[in-house]
Chains A and B, each alone.
Chain A
Amino acid sequence: MRVNVNNLTFAYTQKLVLNNVSFSLKSGDFLTIHGKNGTGKTTLIRCFLKLLRVENGMIFLDDVDINKIRKFSNVGYVPQKNDFNYEFPITVSEILSCAYPRKRDAFFTQIVNSMDLNTIYNENINNLSGGQIQRVFIARALLSKPKLLILDEPTVGVDIDNVNALHDILKKLKEQSITIILVSHDMDYCSDITDYYLNFNELGEYEFEKVGGEDVSS
Chain B
Amino acid sequence: MYLASFFRALLTYDFIQYALVAGIIVGFLAPIIGTIVVIRRLSFIADTLSHFSLAGVCIGVFLSKLINWKVFDPLFMGIVFSVAGTFLIERLRGFYKNYKELSMPIVMSAGIALSGLFISLSNNIDSKFTSSLLYGSIYSVSVGNLITIVIIAAVVITFLSLMYKKIVTLCFDEVYASVSGINVKLLQLAITVILALVISLFIDIVGVLLIASLMIIPVASAILLGDSFKNTLVCAVAFSEVSLLLGFIISFHANVTTGPVIILINIFILIVIMIFKRIRTNVKKEK
Q: Report A's interface with B, CB cutoff 8 A.
A: 49-51, 70-73, 75, 77, 79, 83-85, 88-91, 93-95, 97-99, 101, 122, 124, 140, 144
Contact = CB atoms under 8 A, between A and B. Distances in A.
A134 to B, nearest CB: 14
Interface of B: 39, 165-166, 168-169, 171-173, 175-176, 178-181, 223, 226-232
B179 A85 contact: no
Contacts of B179: 49-51, 72, 75, 77
List the 10 closest pairs (A to B, CB-CB), nearest first.
A71-B181, A84-B173, A91-B228, A98-B165, A124-B227, A89-B232, A98-B168, A89-B226, A77-B179, A90-B229
A90 B165 contact: no
Given A88-B39, A89-B223, A95-B172, 6 more contacts: A49-B175, A77-B175, A85-B172, A90-B172, A97-B165, A98-B165
20 contacts: A49-B175, A51-B178, A71-B181, A72-B179, A77-B175, A83-B175, A84-B176, A85-B39, A85-B171, A88-B171, A88-B229, A89-B227, A89-B231, A91-B228, A91-B229, A94-B229, A94-B230, A95-B172, A101-B165, A124-B228
A84 to B, nearest CB: 4
Contacts of A49: 175, 178-179
Contacts of B228: 89-91, 93-94, 122, 124
Contacts of B178: 49-51
A70 B179 CA distance: 10
A162 to B, nearest CB: 20
A90 B176 contact: no
B227 A83 contact: no
Contacts of A89: 223, 226-229, 231-232
B245 to A, nearest CB: 25
B181 A88 contact: no
Contact of B175 (A70, A72, A79, A88): A79
A40 to B, nearest CB: 18
Contacts of A124: 227-228
Nearest to A150: B179
Contact of A94 (B168, B173, B181): B168
Q: In this complex, which of B178, B180, B226 has the most chain A Cβ atoms within 10 angstroms of its Cβ?
A: B180
Contacts of B173: 79, 83-85
A70 B181 contact: yes
Nearest to B182: A71
A69 to B, nearest CB: 9
* Most chain B CB atoms below 10 A, which of A50, A90, A124: A90
A75 B165 CA distance: 19
Contacts of B232: 89
B172 A88 contact: yes
Contacts of B180: 71-72, 99, 144
A90 B231 contact: no
B270 to A, nearest CB: 16
Contacts of A75: 179
A75 B176 CA distance: 11
Contacts of B181: 70-73
Contacts of B166: 98
Nearest to A100: B165
A99 B169 contact: yes
B173 to A, nearest CB: 4
Contacts of B172: 84-85, 88, 90, 95, 98
Nearest to A92: B228
Nearest to B222: A89
Nearest to B166: A98
A84 B170 CA distance: 10
A92 to B, nearest CB: 10
